[in-house]
Amino acid sequence: MNLESLLRLDRAIRVIGFDDAPFVRRKGGVASISGIISANTRFEGMVWGKVRQDGWNATDTICKLLIGGKFLPQLHIVLLDGIAFGGLNMIDLPLLSQRLALPCVAVMRRQPDLAGVETAIRHLPQPERRLEILGRAGNIHAFPPFFFQVCGESPEVTAAVLQRLTDCGKVPEALRLAHLIGAAVIKGESSSSA
């Protein structure tokens, strides 16, 4: 059943929200990522993986965590906390959506400073390739309090889905939990902001 139908019929939307856990920046380092599965705002499961800091494996890592696993057949949408994990390990949003056969959404807390992002990217190897991946994610849509890029669904339906998946505040619950759990696993306690 598609997202529009789930919204119209007031059915539970199964989502996975991915965020990277805190990490110490170092050349060749790794960052952990947590993926939290929820039905609307109710926690249902979790996956855990690692990406290379400023590397190239974020898209593949997310696919490996889901393809062939028990959660993928239940999911309706994938949420990402931003378009990069482990620093600037860029997620290829259209490729992720195609490989998982699901709408994929990079959610941001505010309108990003694209000039600042480009400056940071230009300090890394293969900046043009990173910028191309960033460009493929498409336009940033503003439906306050949500800012997002989406592949596989319309911005209007996506905004309504984000509203449904958010308990309070501006962050969908699956992403909020991914942030809190990632921090707790790495630091021993969850951080105050999610």
Judged on CB neighbours under 10 Å (0-12, 13-18, 19+), 78 is buried
The rounded distance, in Å, linking the Cα atoms of 127 and 112 is 18
The mean predicted confidence, pLDDT, of the chain is 95
For residues 46 and 37, the answer to whether their CB atoms sit within 8 Å is yes
Return the domain boundaries, the chain.
3-186
pLDDT at 190: 86
**Residue position matching structure tokens 């482990």:** 86
Share of the chain above pLDDT 70, in %: 98
Fold classification of 3-186 (topology level): archaeoglobus fulgidus dsm 4304 fold (3.30.2170)
Q: By percentage, how much of the chain surpasses pLDDT 90?
A: 88
Output phi, psi for 9, to 5 deg.
-90, 0
Q: What is the pLDDT of residues 98-156, one digit of tens each?
A: 999 999 999 999 998 989 999 999 999 999 999 999 999 999 999 999 999 999 999 99
Answer whether 21's CB lies under 8 Å from 186's CB: yes
Could you tell me how many residues make up the chain? 194
What does the block give as tokens for 157?
Answer: 């339906």
pTM, full prediction: 0.96
Both structure tokens of 43 = 């926690």
Q: Does residue 27 have a pLDDT over 90?
A: no
Q: What is the chain's Cα-based Rg?
A: 16
How far is 182 from 87, CA to CA, in rounded Å?
Answer: 15
Spell out the residues 6+ positions from residue 70 whose beta carbon is closer than 8 angstroms to its own: none
